[in-house]
Amino acid sequence: MAARKTTKQPADKPNVSADELKALYKDMLLIRRFEEKAGQLYGMGLIGGFCHLYIGQEAVVVGLEAAAEEGDKRVTSYRDHGHMLACGMDANGVMAELTGREGGYSKGKGGSMHMFSKEKHFYGGHGIVAAQVPLGAGLAFADKYQENGRVTFTYFGDGAANQGQVYETFNMAALWDLPCIFVIENNQYAMGTSQQRSTSSAEIYERGKSFGIPGEAVDGMDVLAVKAAGETAVAHCRSGKGPYILEIKTYRYRGHSMSDPAKYRTREEVQKMRDERDPIEQVREMLLTGKHATEDDLKAIDKDIKAVVNESAEFAKNSPEPALEELWTDIYA
Amino acid sequence: MATEILMPALSPTMEEGTLAKWLVKEGDTVKSGDILAEIETDKATMEFEAVDEGIIGKILIAEGTEGVKVNAAIAVLLEDGESADDIVASAPAQAAPVEAAPAPVAAASAPAAPIVDTSPDWPEGTPMKQQTVREAIREGMSEEMRRDDTVFLMGEEVAEYEGAYKISQGMLAEFGAKRVIDTPITEHGFAGIATGASFAGLRPVVEFMTFNFAMQAMDHIINSAAKTLYMSGGQMGAPMVFRGPNGAAARVGAQHSQDYAAWFMQVPGLKVAMPYAASDAKGLMKTAIRDDNPVIFLENEIMYGKTFDVPDVEDYTVPFGKARIWREGTDVTIVSFGIGMTYSLEAADKLAEEGISVEVLDLRTIRPMDTAAIIKSVMKTNRCVTVEEGWPQGSVGSYISSVLMQEAFDYLDAPVINCTGKDVPMPYAANLERHALITTDEVIAAVKQVTYK
């Protein structure tokens, strides 16, 4: 049950077909372009409140969704737009929720941080740091109770990893062999506090050891490495061996939220990551050098995605605000 | 086509800002993610990134300009082949007009006769049995677990120990370890796990050894369980019960002796039941488990061993939001719930000996609250005393007082008095504890005060 570290997925031996690689590229690019558009709409005042962008972290959720099966569940924090797009939720519905309109997934009543889709087994979108961790274990508890063979991806950040309820949950998940994959999206900054300044352990996944939960660190800028690790974790959970921890080392390019000036790190640090480690550029390179796609193919993909994103923005601007009666609905079932 | 780059809003409250510095100049080619400018908001200096690619055709607002309104055009971005000469200045985008909020609905000054459900809880002639509150709660849970296998019980010591207060005695033997689950001492964690399980369609019953320990789980009760139905636009909620003893027991000191009725009552999305009699404990428990919303079920250790008549019928339920009239009277209305009923009924007996006729209402559920029954009774008696063990400020009684003032002011012949526990943490010393709690004598004194006797 010892924790172990994965190496990177070697680029010359991708664990996917050319078509799958293209699909991963497309899924990541959709998130990137969607988030850029969301940032723009926020700047125009069309999106209010808090808005946490996923730019830079796209490989995490896209890689893991590639390892999931129909019916598997997922739950995450407030940095949730990428997770929703990756599990197949409609870009229009997500964007319209961001603008607080009737056409949004929560009819405009949830906002950026609180969105759900029963149909896609997406259980939120939770605004309280780490609250989604026991909730995710609870979803896995229900799967085990119902003996349906499903697993739950429970995403949280390196900041959330210091909340006590995470360890309460690790304990019970291990005790009860819950089919739960704890995905630590380690983007190195808990809002403005770096991991070095907030976290006693260099490898957060190793904290699972004391509960007997196996885990590994994964290169989160490499979507194929994420997918491979996801497959290991899913196989472990689905076979009834209990929870598994993936600490995925990633990086967010933007501030913690739209109103974060991000003075706790240098512009050069961000630029270096973008230039050298960008998850989308890496796959783009792989597609071109492996001759799986031409520049024109990629341009066409780019164009398609722009169309989807622009349509979502138009939909989100034009969808009406919720009727005032909505104030009083959905309080009680 | 040339596009305008607009002054961005970079915080939830920003309306204007200073364009501190341009990091690009006219003629520069930019791609998405490139930093265009530094903008000072009311809180910080922010970097502003390009979203689209193109060439900076014209800078419209010079760096150093203060008070630039959000959404004002600050530059123009050109696509390949366009010239800066093509730019036609346009007016800044207009902010969407703010819709006027609807006027609040004025409260009716004097109610028409309120519609109150006064049907009896059981028909005359129903066979009855004697049961303690403890047995009634257990029977309610067990009956529901027999009829619905998505219902399960989890909590500290509920299974092998058979309950710290023996509520779940025998349930592990009947339902097995899959459905009667001992948890570690970890309220925050297991409340969250149960809430997650309820999102996925199970119906958890979470026992807190006492509600004092539910404070560790408060975030999941309020933020996760109570609000999710609303936040999801009705897609998913938390059909579950949080239950356990609430309020003072005896000589256990401040941290183990608090009544949380008023705390939970405040939260939309929660329902709050607080039974007094065993029949209500059973009937409300069954209703709570069947309810599709999170229900806070407040029990009381002192009441567990008290015996009452309980209908001996197959499927006895009590609806939420229906007060029970324990005693009809004409001079004053006492409104209470839970263990407060003990003092209320005792006071009513003694006052009857003095010729004061007291009507006693047991709310049974605090949310929804049967305010119609309270108003109807006060329209008859014109006086009201509320009785509870919780603290005075923001008490259940203070809410009832405000409802009566707004909706039955013309019917009141005296100010409403709230009999509550004292405004102190619970002391340990026996004599001090007695004084900290509500007493029957205080209820009697309050009734005499509102009846001017």
| B93 pLDDT higher than 50 | no
Interatomic CA distance for residues B306 and B71, integer angstroms? 68
Chain centroid, CA A272 distance in Å: 22
Within-domain flag for B195: yes
> Distance, in angstroms, between A246 CA and closest chain B CA?
20
* A219-A225-A230 Cα angle (round to 5): 105
pLDDT band at A3 (very low <50, low <70, confident <90, very high): very low
pLDDT band at B51 (very low <50, low <70, confident <90, very high): confident
Enter the tokens of residue A204: 């957060």
Within-domain flag for A319: no
pLDDT band at B92 (very low <50, low <70, confident <90, very high): very low
pTM of the model: 0.91
Check whether residue B305 and residue B348 sit in a common domain. Answer: no
Check whether residue B60 and residue B194 sit in a common domain. Answer: no
Within-domain flag for A13: no
Interface of A with B in 180-239 (CB under 8 A): none
Within-domain flag for A35: yes
For B219, the closest chain A residue by CA position comes to A131
Other Cβ atoms within 10 Å of A187 Cβ, number: 23
Q: Does B266 touch chain A (CB under 8 A)?
A: no
> Distance, in angstroms, between A56 CA and closest chain B CA?
11
Q: B105-109, B173-177, B192-196: lowest mean pLDDT where?
A: B105-109
Q: Do A168 and B186 touch (CB under 8 A)?
A: yes
Domain count, chain B: 3
Domain count, chain A: 1
* B324-B330-B331 Cα angle (round to 5): 115
Interatomic CA distance for residues B32 and B148, integer angstroms? 55
**Residue B445's CATH number:** 3.40.50.920
Long-range contacts at B10-13 (CB < 8 A, ≥ 24 apart): B10/A43, B10/A258, B10/A259, B10/B39, B10/B41, B10/B46, B10/B48, B11/A258, B11/A259, B11/B41, B11/B42, B11/B43, B11/B44, B12/A48, B12/A49, B12/A50, B12/A259, B13/B42
Chain B CB contacts of A175 below 8 Å: 184
pLDDT of residue B106: 52
Last residue of a domain, one of B283, B311, B339: B311
**Residue B23's CATH number:** 2.40.50.100
Chain centroid, CA A83 distance in Å: 4
Chain A CB contacts of B195 below 8 Å: 134-135, 138
Q: Do B196 and A44 touch (CB under 8 A)?
A: no
Interface of A with B in 116-155 (CB under 8 A): 116-118, 123-128, 131, 133-143, 145-146
Check whether residue B305 and residue B389 sit in a common domain. Answer: no
Query: Measured between CB atoms, which of B71, B184, B195 is closest to A44?
Result: B71
CA distances (Å), B298 to each of B242, B327, B339, B341, in order?
Answer: 8, 23, 10, 14
Residues in chain B: 453
User: In the 8-state DSSP scheme, what is residue B12?
Assistant: T
Interatomic CA distance for residues B182 and B162, integer angstroms? 10
Enter the tokens of residue B36: 């265009």
Enter the tokens of residue B184: 């570690």
pLDDT, one tens digit per residue, over A102-122 is 999 999 999 999 999 999 999
Tell which residue, A133, A153, A142, has the closest CA to residue B188.
A133
Interatomic CA distance for residues B52 and B30, integer angstroms? 8
Q: Does A175 touch chain B (CB under 8 A)?
A: yes
Interatomic CA distance for residues B377 and B411, integer angstroms? 10
Domain range for residue A100?
A: 18-311
Other Cβ atoms within 10 Å of B144 Cβ, number: 21
Check whether residue B152 and residue B198 sit in a common domain. Answer: yes
Query: Measured between CB atoms, which of B202, B224, B292 is closest to A135?
Result: B224
Check whether residue B187 and residue B257 sit in a common domain. Answer: yes
> DSSP 3-state assignment of B193?
helix
pLDDT band at B15 (very low <50, low <70, confident <90, very high): confident
Task: Out of B4, B187, B301, B359, pick the active-site residue.
Answer: B187
Active site residue B256: yes
Interatomic CA distance for residues B129 and B136, integer angstroms? 11
Enter the tokens of residue B160: 């092998």
Interatomic CA distance for residues B328 and A6, integer angstroms? 75
pLDDT band at A264 (very low <50, low <70, confident <90, very high): very high
Within-domain flag for A279: yes
CA distances (Å), A77 to each of A45, A133, B281, B354, in order?
Answer: 23, 9, 38, 63
pLDDT, one tens digit per residue, over B110-123 is 556 789 998 999 99
Residue type for position A166: V
Within-domain flag for B95: no
pLDDT of residue B149: 98
Within-domain flag for B108: no
Check whether residue B334 and residue B400 sit in a common domain. Answer: yes
Check whether residue B156 and residue B277 sit in a common domain. Answer: yes
Within-domain flag for A5: no
| B65 pLDDT higher than 60 | yes
Enter the tokens of residue B129: 């049995």
pLDDT, one tens digit per residue, over B279-333 is 999 999 999 999 999 999 999 999 999 999 999 999 999 999 999 999 999 999 9
Sequence-distant (≥ 6) Cβ neighbours of residue B383 within 8 angstroms: B331, B332, B333, B412, B413, B414, B450, B451
Sequence-distant (≥ 6) Cβ neighbours of residue B100 within 8 angstroms: none
CB contact at 8 A, B431 and B422: no
Check whether residue B171 and residue B303 sit in a common domain. Answer: yes
* B192-B193-B195 Cα angle (round to 5): 65
pLDDT, one tens digit per residue, over B335-368 is 999 999 999 999 999 999 999 999 999 999 999 9
pLDDT, one tens digit per residue, over B216-271 is 999 999 999 999 999 999 999 999 999 999 999 989 999 999 999 999 999 999 99
Average pLDDT in chain A: 94
Within-domain flag for B109: no
Other Cβ atoms within 10 Å of B267 Cβ, number: 17
Within-domain flag for B110: no
Q: Does B228 touch chain A (CB under 8 A)?
A: yes
Average pLDDT in chain B: 93
Check whether residue B138 and residue B246 sit in a common domain. Answer: yes
Q: What is the ipTM of this complex?
A: 0.94
Within-domain flag for A322: no
Terminal CA-CA length for chain A: 44
**Residue B219's CATH number:** 3.40.50.970
Angle of helix A58-65 relative to helix A279-289, nearest 10 degrees, comes to 60
Sequence-distant (≥ 6) Cβ neighbours of residue B22 within 8 angstroms: B36, B37, B59, B63
Within-domain flag for A238: yes
> DSSP 3-state assignment of A252?
coil
Enter the tokens of residue B262: 């008023």
Residues in chain A: 333
pLDDT of residue B2: 83
Q: Does B365 touch chain A (CB under 8 A)?
A: no
Within-domain flag for B122: no
| B108 pLDDT higher than 60 | no
**Residue A68's CATH number:** 3.40.50.970
Within-domain flag for B32: yes
pLDDT of residue B87: 60
pLDDT of residue B361: 98
Angle of helix B187-199 relative to helix A164-175, nearest 10 degrees, comes to 70
pLDDT of residue A8: 56
Interatomic CA distance for residues A122 and B235, integer angstroms? 11
pLDDT band at A1 (very low <50, low <70, confident <90, very high): very low
- The answer to whether the Cα torsion of B13, B15, B18, B23 is positive or negative is positive
Domain range for residue B403?
A: 324-450
Last residue of a domain, one of B86, B119, B142: B86
Within-domain flag for A329: no
Active site residue B435: no
Check whether residue B298 and residue B409 sit in a common domain. Answer: no
Within-domain flag for B248: yes
Enter the tokens of residue B25: 């100049």
Tell which residue, B203, B231, B200, B240, has the closest CA to residue A116.
B231
Helix residue spans in B6-70 (DSSP H): none
Other Cβ atoms within 10 Å of B130 Cβ, number: 11
E strands present in B151-222: 151-155, 180-182, 203-207
Chain A CB contacts of B224 below 8 Å: 126, 128, 131, 135
